[in-house]
Chains A and B, each alone.
Chain A
Amino acid sequence: MNIRLAKPEDLPSIQATNLQNLPENYLMKFWMYHILSWPQISFVAEDHKGRIVGYVLAKIDNGEYDEPKDSEKTEIHGHVNSISVLRSYRRLGLARKLMILSQEAMSTIYKASFVSLHVRKSNKPAIALYRDSLGFRVAKVEQKYYGDGEDALSMRLDLVI
C-alpha cells in the first residue's frame, strides 16, 4: 500500500471511503476546507491501482475561539476529524502509519503541543490503537456525543516538539 499526503484529486475517494465505513459523514466542502486550510497534515493510503483504501483528515486548532476557562485548550493543537481504513484493508497497520505521519506534520509545521480525537466508547479496536499503539490517553468522556446517543472518549496525545 502506498501512503502519501492527501491531494485535492483524492477528495471524492476520501468522501466515498468515509461514507462506506463510518456513520459520521460530511459534505465535500468540509473535506475541501480541511485540506485547503491545513494542506500538510492529511494523508491517504492507496492500493496498487491507486484506489484510496484509507485516510486521515486532520485540522489545527489555535484555541482562539475556545472557552477561555480551559487553559489547555488555548494551546495550538492538532485534531483528528476523521480516520478510517476499509474493512478489507485492515491488519496492515495503515491507520497507525497514517496517524504517525499526521502527528509528525502537526508537530513540526504547526508546533502543535498535542493531538486530540474523539472515538466511540464501544469501538474497542480503535481505542486499542490509539492507547496501546500510539500512546493516547483518555482526557474525558463526552456524554451522548454521537448522533445515536453513544458517548465519546475524548483522547489526547502530547506531541514532542
Chain B
Amino acid sequence: MEVRRDISVSSANVYVEGVDLVRKGVQLDLSSHICWHVYGLIHKGEKNYKEALKCYTQALRYDKENLNILRDAAQLQTQLRIYDGLVETRHTLLKIRPAMRQHWMALAVAYHLNGNLTEAKKVLELYEATLKNVPDYDVEHSETMLYHVRLLEDLGEFTEALAMLDVNAKSRAIVDRTSIMEIRARLLSKLGSDEAEHAWRVLVEHNPECYEYYQGYFSNLGLTLDATNPTAPQALAVLQEFSTQIPRATAPRRLALTIASGEQFRDLVTPYILSGLKKGVPSLFSDIKGLYQDPAKQQIIEEAALDAQTQFSAAEPSSSAAAAEVEPTSYLWTLYFLAQHHSYLKRHTQALEILDKALAHTPTLPELHMFKGRVLKRAGDLFGGARCLEDARFLDGQDRFLNTKSAKYRLRAGMVEEASTLLGLFTKKDAATPGADLEDMQSLLYLVEEADAHNRNGHFGPALKKYMAVNKVFDDFEDDQYDFHGYSIRKFTVNIYLNLLTWEDRVRSHPAYVKSALAASRIFVAVHDDPSIATAATATAQLTDAQKKAKKKAKKAAQKIQEDAKKAAAAQTNNNDDKGLELTPKDDDPDGTKLLQCTDPLERAANLLKPLATLADTNIEVWIATYDVAVRRKKYLQASKALARVAAIDAEHPELHIRRVEFRQRVSGLAEPPQVVSPILTESIAKLLPDEVSVETFNSQYLQRHSTSGPAILAVAKVLVKLQTPREQVEETLFTALEGTASLDIKTALAIVAFLHTIQSPREVEFRTRCGEKFELSTVFKSAEELAELRQLALTAPHALPDKAEDIP
C-alpha cells in the first residue's frame, strides 16, 4: 500500500508524484485491483466521476466481492445516474452481506431510482420481515416506514398506504406526527373519504400559516382560491370561520382578500391594512400588491390607505389624548405604503413627493431611504439610487441586509470598486478580496451582480470570469450530493434524500445559472465574432482616470484591513502544524483575460447552454442563444430547431425576427447549398422565412405590425443595417421609438443608444437628450462628464443625519 500513503501525504508536489506512481502501477500490473482502485480514488478526488467509475469497474473484474470497491462504485453510479448499473451493484452488496440492514434499503432505493417501484416495495417488505425488536422511538425505523407508505402511495395503492400508516402511527413505529397528519389527509382525499375534511382541519390547526393545508382543505371540498369561481362565497365563509377559530393566524385573513370582492373586500381589507400600518409591518405593500391585478381592488386599497393617512395625521400634532391611541410611526408607515402604491403604478414623481414628506418627518428610518433609492433606480437614476441606499446603510451599519443592498445598488450603477469596499465590511478579513470571500461562500447574488456590472461597463474579461464562477458554484452544488449517496442510506433518511436527487437533477434551472450561462454565452459569441475584444481587454488602460483613482483608493483601504487581519490570524494559527496541505492553486488569470482569449469560445458556450435545453425550455433567450452558438458552429439543423422553438413560444419576438433574416443570409452564403446538406434544413428555413418573400418586404411588414414597439423598432433597424440601408434611414426608423404612441422603456432606449453608437451615428447625442427629456427622472442618458459628477455625488457621505439611530421606530 505504498501508493496510498503517497497520496495521503499529498501536498501539491507529492500529489503529482503520487499520481504518476499510480499510473505507472496500473501500467505495470493491469490485473491489480489495488492499482485500479487507487487510480479510481484519484479520479474521484478530482471529481472526474466517469473515469473513476471506469477504474472501479476494472478493479471489480479482479476482485468481484470487494465491499469497499462495490460501495464506492455504487456511489459513483448514483452520481452519474447510471441506475441499472446501480441496481446490480446494490444487489451484489446485499448478496455478500445480507445482515447489513443498510444494504436492503440501498437496494430498494436503487430500484426506486431506476423507476421500478414494485421491486423497491418487495425489497422493503423482505427487509421488514427480517427485523426483530425495533426499539421504541427509533427515528430510522420511522423513516423506513414512511418510505414504505410513500412507495405505496406512488404506486397508487392508497388503501394499503393508509392502512400501513394508521397501524404504524398507532404502534408509534412512525414518530413524525406532522408527516403522519399530512400523508393521512392526502390519502383520505385521494380515497374520497369523509374523514378527509377533518384530517385537513387538524393540519390547519397544527400550523395555521401553511398555505398547502388550506389548499388541501379547499380542494377536498371542491373549492378553490379563485375569486371568479362561483364557489367563492363558500370558500370565503370557510376562511372566515378559520379566522374566528384561530385569531392569531394571518393566512386565512390574507387568503380571504384574494377571494373577496366588492364591498366585502373593502370590509376585510381596511382592518387588514390598518393593523399592518399600526404594527409597522414593512412588507405590508409587497404582501398585498398581488391584489392589484384587479383594478377595483386597487382603488379600494388606495382609498383605505388615504383614509388611514387622514386618520393618523390628525393624531400627529402632539395632542396627548390622540397620541396615546396612535403611534406617530403609524403615520410614517402609511406614507411609506402610499409611496410604494404610487411607485407600483409608475407614478414616480408622486411617490418621491410622499417619500420626501416622510423623510422630513423622520429621517432615520432606513426603509424610507431604501425605497426612495428603488424609485430612483426604476426611473433610471442609478447614481441617485445608490446614494439613497448609502443613506439607509449609514443609519444602521451593523445590518448586513442594508450593506448588501447598498453594494448591489452601487454595482447597478457600475461602481464595482466602491461596492467591493462596502462588501468588505462583512467579509472575512483574511480573504484576498471581499469578492474572493463571497465567491468562496457561494454568493450567487454577488457573483451575478458584479458580473453584470463588469459586462455593462464593457469589461468582458472580469465579467466572464464571474459568470464562470457561477457555473463553478453549480458544479459544487452537484458535487455536494456525492457523500449523501452513502450517508443518507446509512441514516435511513431516504425520503428527503430522494427529494434531494430530484432537486439536484434540476439545479441548473436556478435563475442565477440561467442568467450567467446566457450572458457568458453572449460574450463567447461576441469574442468569436470579433477577437479584438479579447486583445483590447489585455490593456487595462480602458479605465478612466476617475476609475483608476477609485480603484487605487479602494485597494489601499482593503489592504489595510487585510494586513490587520493577517496579523490577528497569524497569531491564532501559529500553533497549528498541519499547514502546507492546501491544494488551492494560485489563480493565474484573475481578470479573465486568458479566458476571453480561449481558442474554443463556442464550445464553451455550447456546454453552458446544454443543460438549459431541458431545464429552461420555455425561455426564449435560451433558444436564441442556442441558435447564436449553433449557427456559428455550422450546426445548421440545431440552429433551425432552436429558432423553431422560439417561434413556437412567440413567433413575433423581435430577436427572432432578426435571426430569421440572419439565418437565411448565412445559409444562402454557404459554399455548399443546404439542399445537398439536408432537405429537412431547407424546409425548416423556408418555414422561418418563405423563399418567395424578399427580406426587405419581410422587414417592412414586421415593422407595420409592430410600429409602436420599441424592441421591434430596434430589431427592424438591425435588419436594415444587414441590408446595407443608408444610415440616415436606419436612424429615421430608430427615432420613431421616441414618438408619443410608441412604447419605449429605459432598457430598450439604452439598447438603441448602444446600437446608434455601433453604427457610428452622429445622432446618438440627440437620441440621448430626447430620452433624458422623456424619462424625466433618469440620469442614465446623460453625458460622460455629467455622469462623472453624479457618480462623485453618490459617494459623498450622508450628511445632516444623526450618528446614532436608536430612535428608529
Residues in chain A within 8 A of chain B (CB atoms): 1-5, 7-9, 11-12, 15-16, 19-23, 25-29, 32, 35-37, 39-40, 45, 47-49, 53, 86-92, 97, 101, 105, 108-111, 122, 147
Chain A, residue nearest B288 (CB): A48
Chain B, residue nearest A123 (CB): B398
Bound together, the chains give a CA A3 to CA B367 distance in angstroms of 24
Q: Which of B179, B250, B500 contacts A1 (CB 8 A)?
A: B250
Contact yes or no, B400 A21, CB < 8 A: yes
Contact yes or no, A36 B497, CB < 8 A: yes
Contact with A along B204-226 (1 / 0, CB 8 A): 00010111100000000000000
Q: Which of B175, B401, B488, B504 contacts A87 (CB 8 A)?
A: B401
Residues in B with CB closer than 8 Å to A25 are: 441
Contact yes or no, B282 A88, CB < 8 A: yes
Residues in A with CB closer than 8 Å to B400 are: 20-23
Whether a CB of chain A sits under 8 angstroms from the CB of B588 is: no
Residues in A with CB closer than 8 Å to B500 are: 8, 32, 36
Whether a CB of chain A sits under 8 angstroms from the CB of B503 is: yes
Chain A, residue nearest B179 (CB): A40
Contact yes or no, B282 A97, CB < 8 A: no
Q: 5 tightest CB-CB pairs across the interface, nearest first?
A: A39-B496, A3-B209, A8-B503, A87-B401, A2-B211
Whether a CB of chain A sits under 8 angstroms from the CB of B183 is: no
Contact yes or no, A23 B496, CB < 8 A: no
Contact yes or no, A48 B290, CB < 8 A: yes
Whether a CB of chain A sits under 8 angstroms from the CB of B610 is: no
Bound together, the chains give a CA A23 to CA B429 distance in angstroms of 12
Bound together, the chains give a CA A89 to CA B280 distance in angstroms of 11
A2-B211, A101-B207 known; A36-B496 Cβ under 8 A? yes
Contact yes or no, A23 B426, CB < 8 A: yes
Contact yes or no, B209 A37, CB < 8 A: no
Bound together, the chains give a CA A45 to CA B287 distance in angstroms of 13
Contact with A along B272-284 (1 / 0, CB 8 A): 0000000111110
Whether a CB of chain A sits under 8 angstroms from the CB of B302 is: no
Contact yes or no, A39 B481, CB < 8 A: no
Chain A, residue nearest B425 (CB): A23
Interface size class of B (residues with CB under 8 A): 35 or more
Contacts beyond the supplied A19-B443, A22-B400: 7 A-B pairs with Cβ under 8 Å: A8-B499, A8-B503, A20-B404, A36-B487, A87-B282, A108-B177, A109-B177
The listed residue with most B CB atoms (<10 A of its CB), out of A11, A49, A53, A92, is A92
Contact yes or no, A86 B209, CB < 8 A: no
Chain B proximity of A140: nearest CB distance (Å):
23
Contact yes or no, A4 B210, CB < 8 A: yes
Chain B proximity of A67: nearest CB distance (Å):
21
Residues in A with CB closer than 8 Å to B487 are: 36
Bound together, the chains give a CA A87 to CA B426 distance in angstroms of 16
Contact yes or no, A86 B401, CB < 8 A: yes
Contact yes or no, B499 A21, CB < 8 A: no
Whether a CB of chain A sits under 8 angstroms from the CB of B388 is: no
Bound together, the chains give a CA A27 to CA B500 distance in angstroms of 16
Contact yes or no, B491 A28, CB < 8 A: no
Q: Which of B212, B484, B495 contacts A32 (CB 8 A)?
A: B484
Contact yes or no, A36 B493, CB < 8 A: yes
Residues in A with CB closer than 8 Å to B603 are: none
Q: Which of B139, B177, B510 contacts A12 (CB 8 A)?
A: B510
Bound together, the chains give a CA A115 to CA B634 distance in angstroms of 62
A2-B251, A3-B210 known; A28-B476 Cβ under 8 A? yes
Chain A proximity of B304: nearest CB distance (Å):
19
Contact with A along B375-408 (1 / 0, CB 8 A): 0000000000000000000000011111010000
Chain B proximity of A20: nearest CB distance (Å):
5
A32-B481, A89-B283 known; A2-B401 Cβ under 8 A? no
Q: Which of B212, B399, B503 contacts A9 (CB 8 A)?
A: B503
Contact with A along B109-138 (1 / 0, CB 8 A): 000000000000000000000000000010
Chain B, residue nearest A10 (CB): B503
Whether a CB of chain A sits under 8 angstroms from the CB of B444 is: yes
A20-B445, A40-B176, A111-B137 known; A88-B503 Cβ under 8 A? no
Bound together, the chains give a CA A110 to CA B493 distance in angstroms of 14
The listed residue with most A CB atoms (<10 A of its CB), out of B404, B496, B512, is B496
Chain B proximity of A17: nearest CB distance (Å):
10
Residues in B with CB closer than 8 Å to A111 are: 137
Q: Which of B177, B212, B442, B503 contacts A15 (CB 8 A)?
A: B442
A35-B496, A86-B401 known; A28-B480 Cβ under 8 A? yes
Whether a CB of chain A sits under 8 angstroms from the CB of B286 is: yes
Contact yes or no, B444 A12, CB < 8 A: yes
Residues in A with CB closer than 8 Å to B62 are: none
A3-B210, A12-B444 known; A47-B404 Cβ under 8 A? no
Whether a CB of chain A sits under 8 angstroms from the CB of B150 is: no
Chain A, residue nearest B504 (CB): A8
Contact yes or no, A109 B175, CB < 8 A: yes
Whether a CB of chain A sits under 8 angstroms from the CB of B428 is: yes
Residues in A with CB closer than 8 Å to B286 are: 47, 88
Bound together, the chains give a CA A113 to CA B210 distance in angstroms of 26
Q: Which of B207, B441, B499 contacts A19 (CB 8 A)?
A: B441
A87-B401, A88-B286 known; A28-B442 Cβ under 8 A? yes
Residues in B with CB closer than 8 Å to A110 are: 139
Bound together, the chains give a CA A25 to CA B427 distance in angstroms of 10
Chain B, residue nearest A7 (CB): B499
Q: Which of B280, B441, B497 contacts A27 (CB 8 A)?
A: B441
Bound together, the chains give a CA A92 to CA B477 distance in angstroms of 32
Chain A proximity of B10: nearest CB distance (Å):
21
Whether a CB of chain A sits under 8 angstroms from the CB of B678 is: no
Whether a CB of chain A sits under 8 angstroms from the CB of B559 is: no
Chain A proximity of B113: nearest CB distance (Å):
15
Chain A proximity of B178: nearest CB distance (Å):
7
Bound together, the chains give a CA A21 to CA B404 distance in angstroms of 8
